[in-house]
Amino acid sequence: MFWKRKPKKQEGHEATDSAVEVAEDTEEKVDDAVGSEDTDTEETAEKAATEDRSADETETAGSDEAEAADEKADSDESASDDTDEKEAKTEDSEEEDEVVEVGVTGPDADGITRVRTAGTFEFDGEKSEIISNTWIVEADKDGVVVIDPAHDAEAILKVVGDREVYLVACTNAYSPHIEAALTIAEETEADIALHPREMRAWRRVHGAEHRPEIEVEGGGSFDVGDLHIDVLPLPGTSPGTVGYYVSQLGAVFGGDTLRKGEPGMVGGIYIDYTTQLASIGENLLTLPPDTRILPDRGPSTTVETESRNFDAWV
């Protein structure tokens, strides 16, 4: 399945050379002193030669040490260059993870921006004030995919800017994942993707007359712009929860299935904990260890990190 770009509504639109100088002053005064002076001269010359050799050896050793130091410095610099990008990304991620208030983080090196918006989530008769993540993923130079459009469509569209929205992709139909979906889709003429088993929850928010155009199911995949996106089945928090895995970015957007340090709750409870754990173990933690897990709420994490936590959840 491939989405082409769609027209978007527009309004007008960086030696000393160490020399050992030996002065030999040999002045003959008497014949009896010749032998002694010759001996002194020989000793002096030998001493001078020894000093010359020592100086040469010192200079050579110094040169060798300098070359070794240069080689080590080059090697260290090369190793540093190889890890600069990873370190920068890690630092960015750590800074991002410290942010919990409403706002925008990114885009990062992979073209992913996180928009945090505040809203009220009502579930099972209980209301709670939450801050949710909406992920805006650069699909190519012209357009983006919006994942889990949460509470504030205006804030999300401001980050999108003049780019096109190729697709609005929802991990499930709880309101923090779809609340702004219709507004964004209508404003940008984008299609909405949702699992068909989420239609009942969708109707509670948007009614029956507005339906998502694209049905997605676990095991499927599609292409949007330059991205290939695999759909992962992640039932547990709801019957039709899915994740969107982009291997070329090393990122998976898992909605409320797995948050940093814990399986995700819905309204403070687990809907189907056994199924949710199976989804996490079989479909998220089997991804490459350095894959980033970008959830619907809170900071990002990685497959490697959460794999260490899994046994404590079982």
Complete DSSP assignment for the chain: -EEPP-----S-------------------GGGHHHHHHHHHHHHHHHHHHHHHHHHHHHHHHHHHHHHHHHHHHHHHHHHHHHHHHHHHHHHHHHHH--SSEEE---TTSEEEEEEEEEEEETTEEEEEEEEEEEEE-SSSEEEEES--S-HHHHHHHHTTSEEEEEE-SS-SHHHHTTHHHHHHHHT-EEEE-GGGHHHHHHHH-SSS--SEE--TT-EEEETTEEEEEEE-TTSSTT-EEEEEGGGTEEEEETSEETTEEPPBTTB-SSHHHHHHHIIIIITTS-TTPEEEESSS--EEHHHHHHHHHHH-
pLDDT over 60 at 207, yes or no: yes
pLDDT over 60 at 74, yes or no: no
pLDDT of residue 99: 62
pLDDT over 90 at 220, yes or no: yes
Q: Is residue 118 part of a domain?
A: yes
The domain that contains 163 carries what CATH number?
3.60.15.10
Q: Is residue 66 part of a domain?
A: no
> Averaging pLDDT over each range in 6-20, 62-76, 185-199, which range is the top one?
185-199
Q: Is residue 58 part of a domain?
A: no
pLDDT of residue 147: 99
pLDDT over 80 at 93, yes or no: no
pLDDT of residue 155: 98
Q: Is residue 295 part of a domain?
A: yes
pLDDT of residue 100: 74
What is the span of the domain harbouring residue 274?
103-312
Q: Is residue 286 part of a domain?
A: yes
pLDDT over 60 at 157, yes or no: yes
pLDDT over 70 at 312, yes or no: yes
Q: For the segment 100-116, what is each residue's pLDDT rounded down to a tens digit?
A: 799 999 999 999 999 99
Query: What is the rounded average pLDDT of the residues 276-305?
Result: 98
pLDDT over 90 at 231, yes or no: yes
> Averaging pLDDT over each range in 32-41, 74-83, 224-233, which range is the top one?
224-233
Q: Is residue 160 part of a domain?
A: yes
Q: Is residue 38 part of a domain?
A: no
Domain count for the chain, please give it: 1
Round the average pLDDT of the chain to a whole number and report it. 81
Q: Is residue 26 part of a domain?
A: no
